[in-house]
Amino acid sequence: MRIAQLQTHTYQEKKKNIEELGKYLERIQNEKVDLVTVGEMFTCPYNTRNFPVYAEPEGGESWKEFSRLAAKYQIYLSAGTIPEVDEEGRIYNTAYVFDRSGKQIGKHRKMHLFDINIEGGLRFKESDTLSAGDECTVFDTEFGKMGLCICFDFRFPELSRLMVQRGAGIILVPAAFNMITGPAHWDIMFQSRALDNQCYVMGTSAARESSGYIAWGHTLLVSPWGNIIQEMDEKEGYIINDIDLDYIDKVRRELPLLAGRREDIYRLQELKN
């Protein structure tokens, strides 16, 4: 399976971000990739005030364009995240995934809102304008099941374990870490989740901006063994990698961590489907 991760610049103008996505897809079309991923809030500069302004319902203009692009290039498209507004006017940080025909096959609303206050560092409160989703997301593809969560969600190890328990061999994480927690936690978190769950994890970030929310960048792909297959720096661009899905079973067979859990003593309890 061949995957491309796009680390894009976030422009103020929503439409321009989607046009840029289209240009990237055109540029890499001869690479014959199966799955393309983009970062968190990639059509909306990451700021709580912007979320209600940029929000669209599921099936809105941006959604239609993602679907069209997935079908045009016959790829699986994990179209990062965008702000979504529901019928009651609540706003979510939502990730959509489309199959090669442009059909939506996955949708995840960020469950753990990024509300942090690091003294002398960064204060961010997504819950000022966003509501939290409440579902763990796993979807089917011709390459098996994949899990999907958004940035801060990935800090909560139970969620990844739940996705893996539901059969995910790859976890997609559109993200935008910051300049304080990025250098401290980004690599170690992705490597830990991959290692513990013996699956591929893909963290796809926005590129670093010079103003506003400054994203760490460092889009990366980690193997089920926990090693970083490739990691970008902070700049705009993309990486393309081939991954061997049989390797997931090989690692799980040779180092039987998942099979070795003592579920007679402890267990992850699912309270909601």
Alpha-carbon distances of 151 from 19, 22, 100, 248, 263, rounded to whole Å: 24, 24, 25, 23, 29
Footprint of ligand LYUYDEPV (CB under 6 A): 40, 114, 151-152, 155, 176-178, 181
CB closer to ligand LYUYDEPV out of 102 and 147: 147
CB closer to ligand LYUYDEPV out of 68 and 155: 155
Q: How many Cβ atoms from other residues are within 10 Å of residue 5's Cβ?
A: 27
For the question of residue 125 being annotated catalytic, the response is no
Instruction: Provide the CA 243 distance to its chain's centre, in angstroms.
Output: 17
Structure tokens at 6: 């796009």
User: CA-to-CA distance for 26 and 48, rounded, in angstroms?
Assistant: 32
Alpha-carbon distances of 186 from 44, 75, 205, rounded to whole Å: 22, 28, 11
For the question of residue 64 being annotated catalytic, the response is no
Q: Which of 136, 149, 151, 199 is catalytic?
A: 151
Q: Which of 40, 56, 84, 234 is catalytic?
A: 40
Query: Shortest approach of ligand LYUYDEPV to residue 135 CB, angstroms?
Result: 17
Write the Ramachandran bin of 128: left for phi over 0, alpha for psi from -120 to 50, otherwise beta.
alpha
Query: Shortest approach of ligand LYUYDEPV to residue 157 CB, angstroms?
Result: 13
Q: Which residues does 261 contact at the CB level (< 8 Å), separation at least 6?
A: none
CB closer to ligand LYUYDEPV out of 63 and 177: 177
Rg (alpha carbons) of the chain, rounded to whole number: 18
CB closer to ligand LYUYDEPV out of 48 and 241: 48
CB closer to ligand LYUYDEPV out of 9 and 261: 9
Query: Shortest approach of ligand LYUYDEPV to residue 116 CB, angstroms?
Result: 7
Q: Which of 107, 110, 136, 149 is catalytic?
A: 110
Query: Shortest approach of ligand LYUYDEPV to residue 230 CB, angstroms?
Result: 21
Query: Shortest approach of ligand LYUYDEPV to residue 98 CB, angstroms?
Result: 22
At 206, the amino acid letter reads A
For the question of residue 40 being annotated catalytic, the response is yes
Q: Report the catalytic residues.
A: 40, 110, 151
